[in-house]
């Protein structure tokens, strides 16, 4: 072995040969460590590239879902606004009946709020967030996740407040089918009919309508905020910022 030869040369006081062989040993160790470090960096870079693709897929889906949620809440709000006007006039115009029925059937839609990025959640739980070398991206991901947590907390509170008006709101509406969704017990499905005159004469229904419209506005605003944050992440990942 080389180490044994070095020791032998030292014992024979062959300093020159021993020094050369020692340099060879040290150089070999250094090159080995460099090769190992290079290989690890290559592996981390490949893993980071895969993670970036997964994040881009996550946030493309999140932005699309958020856009859809904003549109759904706007559609509900539009229908509720038509209903409020109809309560004043006493008539729902024929062309508005579908919009009103949609809102009546979906105002208790149990919106869960924006979703977390599964890839980001995995990075956090596994302690591998350090793999991302782009610190600006990390900051954007953290900001989005904070907004999701904030909105989900408020969505839970709003849904609980919605329940307080469920009975008053639904008693003037007949559904084609009553199906309960756990755990909140909302009635989804198609509206078979509703009594506009009974609604006009029911102050509790009118109050419930006003409150539920406000809750829909809150839902929409929270979705718009998380959608804006998700869009920032997606633009950064796409190199458009």
Note whether residue 121 is domain-resident: yes
Question: By residue range, what is the domain housing residue 192?
Answer: 60-238
Give the contacts of 73 (CB within 8 A, at least 6 positions apart): 111, 216, 217, 219, 220, 223
pTM over 0.95: no
Confidence of residue 40 (pLDDT cuts 50, 70, 90): low
- In the chain, pLDDT over 90 holds for what percent of residues? 51
Note whether residue 134 is domain-resident: yes
Note whether residue 149 is domain-resident: yes
Q: Are the beta carbons of 59 and 230 closer than 8 angstroms? A: yes
Q: What is the mean pLDDT of residues 88-103?
A: 90
Note whether residue 36 is domain-resident: no
> Does the pLDDT at position 94 exceed 90?
no
Q: Which two tokens stand for residue 169?
A: 């709101």
Distance CA 113, CA 192 (A): 28
Note whether residue 155 is domain-resident: yes
Number of domains in the chain: 1
pLDDT the model gives residue 184: 46
Note whether residue 48 is domain-resident: no
**CB burial string 150-185: b at 16+ within 10 A, e below:** ebbeebeebbeebeebbebbbebbebeeeeeeeeee
Tens digit of each residue's pLDDT (9 = 90 or more) over 174-233: 887 655 555 444 445 678 888 899 999 999 999 999 999 999 999 999 999 999 999 999
> Does the pLDDT at position 162 exceed 70?
yes
Note whether residue 181 is domain-resident: yes
- Radius of gyration of the CA atoms of the chain, in A: 32
Top pLDDT among 111 and 169 is at 169
pLDDT the model gives residue 20: 60
Residue 181 sits at φ, ψ, to 5 deg, of -105, 125
């Amino acid at each position: 072995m080389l180490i044994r030869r070095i020791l032998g040369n030292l014992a024979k006081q062959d300093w020159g040969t021993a020094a050369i062989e020692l340099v060879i040993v040290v150089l070999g160790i250094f090159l080995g460590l460099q090769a190992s470090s290079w290989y690890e960096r290559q592996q981390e870079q490949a893993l980071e590239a895969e993670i970036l693709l997964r994040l881009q897929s996550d946030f493309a889906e999140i932005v699309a879902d958020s856009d859809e949620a904003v549109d759904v809440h706007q559609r509900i709000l539009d229908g509720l606004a038509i209903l409020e006007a109809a309560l004043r006039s006493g008539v729902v115009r024929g062309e508005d009946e579908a919009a009103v029925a949609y809102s009546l059937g979906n105002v208790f839609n149990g919106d869960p709020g924006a979703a977390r990025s599964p890839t980001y959640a995995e990075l956090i739980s596994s302690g591998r967030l350090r793999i991302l070398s782009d610190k600006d991206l990390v900051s954007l991901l953290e900001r989005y996740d904070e907004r999701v947590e904030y909105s989900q907390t408020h969505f839970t509170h709003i849904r609980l407040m919605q329940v307080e008006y469920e009975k008053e709101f639904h008693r003037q509406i007949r559904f084609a089918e009553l199906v309960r969704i756990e755990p909140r017990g909302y009635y989804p499905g198609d509206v078979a009919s509703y009594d506009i005159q009974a609604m006009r004469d029911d102050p509790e229904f009118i109050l419930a309508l006003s409150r539920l419209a406000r809750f829909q506005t809150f839902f929409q605003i929270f979705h718009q905020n998380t959608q804006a944050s998700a869009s920032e992440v997606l633009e950064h990942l796409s190199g458009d910022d």
